[in-house]
Amino acid sequence: MELTINNLSFSYAGVPILKNIDLSVDLGELVAIVGPNGSGKSTLLKCINHILKTKQNSILLDGQDTNKLNIKRLSQLMGYVPQTSISAFPFTVFDVVMMGRKPYIHWSIGEHDNEIVAQIMKLLGIDHLAMRQFPELSGGEQQKVIIARALAQQPQILLLDEPASSLDIKHQLEILCILKGLAQSKERSVITTMHDLNLASRFSDRMLMLKKGCIYAMGKPENVLTTQSIEDVYGIKADVSFSTVGRPIITPIVNDFNDFTSKVSLFFEEKQELKV
C-alpha cells in the first residue's frame, strides 16, 4: 500500500502548522520525520491518521482519498503510537494489546484475535507482562505494549510519535530494531517522528526534515543531515562525520552556548537575594 500526501496544509485556529507537504511512502520503507519542536512533526502524523481533519484529496492510500474511507476501515490500515500513553483506569497488558483488535471485533473476542494478540506479545517480548497492569510498567515496557497494540490492528502503515524519546539507550535500540524489522518484512511501512538525529540517521531509509511546517529536505540520511541543514533548521553548528556503515553522525558544537552558561552562572553569583 502506498501512502501519498498531496499538497497538505493544516492550520490550527488560523495559525498555519503545515504548509504544502508532499510525500509518498512505499511498503517496506522506514521514514523518519525530524525537525525542531513545533515544526509540525506530530501534526503531520495526526493528519495522516485523520485524528486531525484535512482537506479532500490531501492524504491518499493507493490513490484513494482517505477522507472517503470510514474511520473503522482506516483503523484497519493504519496504526498509531502516540507520544505519551494515558490510561485513566488501568487495564492489563493483555487488554491493552487486545484494544488493537477493536477495528475487527464487535463484542466478543474470537480465537483468532486471541492468537494474534498472543503472538505479537511473544514477538515483542512482553508476554511475561500479560496480566500486569499497564500503568505499573516502565516506560520502555509501556512503549512496547503500545506498539503491540498498533500491530494488533494489522496495519499496513504504522505511525509513531517519538517512540524512543523517553527511553534509555537499550530500549531505544530495541524499539528501533523492531521498527526496522517491521519495515524490512516488506509487509508494511513505518513512519516515525524522532528527536534523536543520530538514531534517525542510523535506522531510517529516508528522512524528512521539517522547518516551520515546510519540508526543508527529504531523502537519504546522508543527503539530509549536513552541517548546512542542521544550522538552517535547528540553528546550531554541528560536525557531521560518518559511521562505519556510511551513515552520518551528528556531533553538536556546544561552544556557541558557552556564553549562555557563563551568563547563568554569573547571574546566580551576583544576585544576593538568590544566594542559598
Between 76 and 198, whose beta carbon lies closer to another protein?
76
How distant is the alpha carbon of residue 50 from its chain centre? 15
- When the beta carbons of 78 and 238 are compared against another protein, the nearer one is 78
Residue 138 binds to another protein (criterion: CB under 8 A): no
Residue 184 CB, nearest distance to another protein (Å)?
23
Residues 6+ apart with CB under 8 A from 97: 117, 120, 121, 126, 145, 148, 149, 152
Residue closer to another protein by CB (options 20, 114) is: 114
Considering the rule CB under 8 A, would residue 13 count as an interface residue with another protein?
Answer: no
Find the binder of another protein among 80, 148, 203, 209 (CB under 8 A).
80
Q: Is 1 in the site for another protein (CB under 8 A)?
A: no
Contacts of 222 by beta carbon, 8 Å cutoff, 6+ apart: 242, 246, 247, 248
From the list 82-90, 226-234, 246-254, 260-268, the region that binds another protein by CB under 8 A is: 82-90
Per-residue burial over 218-257, b if 16 or more Cβ lie within 10 Å, else e, is: beebeebbeeebbeebbeeebebeeeeeebbebeeeeeee
- Does 15 participate in binding another protein (rule CB under 8 A)? no
Considering only the stretches 2-10, 113-121, 205-213, 215-223, report the one whose residues sit in contact with another protein under the rule CB under 8 A.
113-121
Rule CB under 8 A: say whether 85 interacts with another protein.
yes
d(CA 228, CA 190): 27
Residue spans of alpha helices (H) in 49-164: 71-77, 93-98, 111-123, 139-152
Dihedral sign (CA 255, 260, 261, 266): positive
The window from 114-122, 175-183, 210-218, 231-239 that contacts another protein (CB under 8 A) reads 114-122
Contact characters 149-188, another protein, x per CB under 8 A = ----x-----------------------------------
Residue 137 is a binding residue for another protein (CB under 8 A) = no
Q: With contacts defined by CB under 8 A, how many residues of the chain interact with another protein?
A: 46
User: Using the rule CB under 8 A, is 110 a contact of another protein?
Assistant: no
CB of 130 to another protein, least distance (A): 6
Question: For residue 84, what are the contacts with CB-CB under 8 A and spacing of at least 6?
Answer: 166
Q: Does 135 bind another protein (CB under 8 A)?
A: yes
| Amino acid letter for position 80 | Y
Residue with smaller CB distance to another protein, 131 or 276: 131
Residue 15, φ and ψ in degrees, nearest 5: -95, 120
Going across the sheet that includes 59-61, the strands are 15-25, 3-12, 59-61, 64-65
DSSP characters over 191-248: EEE-S-HHHHHHH-SEEEEEETTEEEEEESHHHH--HHHHHHHHS--EEEEE-TTS-E
Within 25-54, which residues bind another protein (CB under 8 A)?
46, 49-51
Amino acid at 82: P
- Contact residues toward another protein (CB under 8 A) are 46, 49-51, 71-76, 78-80, 82, 85-92, 94-96, 99-100, 102-103, 105-107, 114-115, 118-119, 121-122, 125, 127-128, 130-131, 133, 135, 153
